[in-house]
């Protein structure tokens, strides 16, 4: 069965500092992996996805994530945080073989200090 663990329900960084949000997944087959961002009272917006191919995936707003199969991880990074990055971030996994269901992690709230 698929599962997602996001390490740290809250992360606080200073503006301009590195953002690192951690995600580990469990899947019995090759996974598809996603990061979504959610602003208050809104739905989720896709930041980036990994399906196959290059393990370093670039997304919108300067975010990127690296798929590491040996570590079953898909951590999200951004070199320099901006105030507008403050939001809730969700890591998600779905399976590649006939799967449609996407399982979401519990989320990490990112705070950005001026």
Partner 1 sequence: DTGVSQDPRHKITKRGQNVTFRCDPISEHNRLYWYRQTLGQGPEFLTYFQNEAQLEKSRLLSDRFSAERPKGSFSTLEIQRTEQGDSAMYLCASSKSSGTGGGQPQHFGDGTRLSIL
Judged by CB under 8 A, does residue 105 bind partner 1?
yes
* Residue 14-53 contact track with partner 1, rule CB under 8 A, x = bound: ------------------x-x-x----xxxxxx--x-x--
CB 24 within 8 A of CB 38: no
Q: How far is the CB of 90 from partner 1 (least distance, A)?
A: 5
Binding to partner 1 by CB under 8 A, coded x per residue (else -) over 64-83, reads --------------------
Options 12-20, 61-69, 79-87, 91-99: segment touching partner 1 (CB under 8 A): 91-99
Is 44 within 8 Å of 38 (Cβ atoms)? yes
Of 101 and 114, the one with the shorter C-beta distance to partner 1 is 101
106 near partner 1, judged by CB under 8 A: yes
Residues in the chain: 114
The nearer residue to partner 1, 14 or 42, going by C-beta atoms, is 42
Q: Label the pairing between strands 64-68 and 73-78.
A: antiparallel
């Amino acid at each position: 069965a698929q599962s997602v663990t996001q390490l740290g329900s809250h992360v606080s960084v200073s503006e301009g500092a590195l953002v690192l949000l951690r995600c580990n997944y469990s899947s019995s087959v090759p996974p598809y992996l996603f990061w979504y961002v959610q602003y208050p009272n809104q739905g989720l917006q896709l930041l980036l996805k990994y399906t196959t191919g290059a393990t370093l995936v670039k997304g919108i707003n300067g975010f990127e994530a690296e798929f590491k199969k040996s570590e079953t991880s898909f951590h999200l990074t951004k070199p320099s945080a901006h105030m507008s990055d403050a939001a809730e971030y969700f890591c998600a996994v779905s399976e590649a073989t006939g799967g449609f269901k996407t399982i979401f992690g519990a989320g990490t709230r990112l705070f950005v200090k001026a």
